[in-house]
Amino acid sequence: MIHTGSRGLGHQVCTDYLDVTGRALRRYGISVPDRQLACAPVDSDEARAYLGAMRAAANFAFANRQVLTHWTRQVFERSLQIGPRELGMRVVYDVAHNIAKEEEHEVDGARRRLIVHRKGATRAFPGQPVLVPGDMGRYSYLLLGTEQAMRETFGSTCHGAGRRLSRTAAVKAARGRRIGDELRERGVLARATGRDALAEEMPEAYKDVADVVDVVHRFGISTRVARLKPLAVIKG
C-alpha cells in the first residue's frame, strides 16, 4: 500500500475555493450551517473552476503514486535481484480520497446523477477494495465495499484513522524522544526530510485505526479483509 496525496495542493485548492464560494453564497441564495460547507450550483463559474482545480490536484496525487510505485519496484529489484514481474508487483487498485466524484445514486426512490464530495472518506462501492491507512507504527487495513454502503452512505466509508493530536500538539508531545528509533524497534524504517515530520505523524498522534475499522465493519458499510503491517515510511 502506498499512501500519498497532492503535497498540499489539494489543501490549498480547498482553502482558496472555500473563500470563493463563501463570498458567492448570498448571490445564489444558499445558506449553510458551517462555512466549511460553502458551495455553489454545479453549472456556476465558481463550481466549474473549483472542480477543475480539484481534478488537477487529484491528478497530481495519482502521478505521485505512479512515481513512488516505480521507485518501489526498483528498490525491490536492486535488493532482491528479482524483477517486478517475477515478484508480482503490479498495481491492483488506485483510488483518491477527499475528492468530488460524479456518480449515479438512488435518492427518494429514483436514480439521480449526483456529485458526491467525500471529505475524510473514500469510495466503498460493492466489491471494490477500500484502502484505509492507519499510522506509521501500527497497521493499516484493506476492506471491501458493500451494498449497504450504497444504501446508507452513497458508497462511502472512512479513509483513515483520523488525528487525535494536532501537528503542533504532536511535536510538543514528542520533545525529548527519538521517534525514528522508536519506529525502528517496531520494525519500521522511517525517513524524513522535515525537522518535525516524524513527530507530527507519530503513532500516538492518530486514533487506533482498528477501532475505526471495527465501526464501519459492524455497521456493514465496508467489510474487513486484511490488516497490513508497515515496513517503511518516508515523510517530506
Report the alpha-carbon distance of residue 87 to residue 76 in Å, rounded.
Answer: 9
Residue with cell 514481474: 85
Q: Which one-letter DSSP state was computed for residue 139?
A: -
Phi, psi angle pair for 85, to nearest 5°: -65, -45
Q: Which of 11, 97, 159, 217 is an active site residue?
A: 159
From 130, 125, 62, select the one nearest 96 (Cα to Cα). Answer: 62
**Residue 11 a catalytic site member:** no
From 236, 199, 214, 113, select the one nearest 161 (Cα to Cα). Answer: 214
Cβ neighbourhood burial of 60 (10 Å; 0-12, 13-18, 19+): middle
What are the residue numbers of the active site?
159
